[in-house]
Chain A
Amino acid sequence: NAGVTQTPKFQVLKTGQSMTLQCAQDMNHNSMYWYRQDPGMGLRLIYYSASEGTTDKGEVPNGYNVSRLNKREFSLRLESAAPSQTSVYFCASSEYEGGEQFFGPGTRLTVL
């Protein structure tokens, strides 16, 4: 089992460009999450999907959109990237909402 996989690992964007971060899990988990991690700060929840077909805003949703494509995949889209979105993005999944979360390896995004 690969667990939670994320692509790409690294990305550099120019201000205003768009991109989609991909996340997939092979643990048959119902819930999936997107976090961002900034230096000296903990993880902040951007969006989550409690179950297939549902998505909800977390603590810092502005500037992002998500799609729960199916039970396995949960993508995060930046429509118009801003330097403030420079961060490391982590995807996570859990068997049920609020359960133990398993994290992917992260995507390091730089917006110039």
Chain B
Amino acid sequence: QQQVKQSPQSLIVQKGGISIINCAYENTAFDYFPWYQQFPGKGPALLIAIRPDVSEKKEGRFTISFNKSAKQFSLHIMDSQPGDSATYFCAASIGTNAGKSTFGDGTTLTVKP
């Protein structure tokens, strides 16, 4: 049973546009929601993360929106750039229990110049 569902699987956006990736979770015990960015041939790297006590977190062009009642969270990339082309993973975990973390299947983002 997949606990975090991510969509879309792939996304193509024009330079300067807004990229939006969505994730939905099932386990209401999740309390930490990070997003990872992965470039080809590299390991994932933490991009931005949110806890359920806030509805939005912004870091530069990257924003996480969190809807606790709907059990959904999303990543918005404003003014998307070709350098943002990568695979993005959402994840969810329970406190400090590493065994209770799960990742979405990933979204491959292509930003066209």
Instruction: Report A's interface with B, CB cutoff 8 A.
Output: 4, 31, 33, 40-45, 48, 50, 56-59, 90, 92, 94, 96-106
Contacts and interface: CB of A to CB of B under 8 A. Distances in A.
B18 interface: no
Q: Which of A31, A48, A97 has the most CB of B within 10 A?
A: A97
Interface in B84-113: 89, 91, 93-99, 101-106
A31 B104 contact: no
Given A42-B104, A106-B42, 10 more contacts: A42-B4, A44-B103, A48-B99, A90-B43, A90-B44, A97-B98, A98-B96, A98-B98, A100-B49, A106-B41
Interface residues of B, number: 27
25 contacts: A31-B98, A40-B105, A40-B106, A42-B6, A42-B89, A42-B91, A42-B102, A42-B105, A43-B89, A45-B99, A48-B98, A57-B99, A58-B99, A90-B43, A90-B44, A98-B93, A98-B95, A98-B96, A98-B97, A100-B34, A100-B49, A101-B46, A103-B43, A103-B45, A106-B43
Interface string B47-91: 001000000000000000000000000000000000000000101
B105 A41 contact: yes
A65 to B, nearest CB: 17
B97 A97 contact: yes
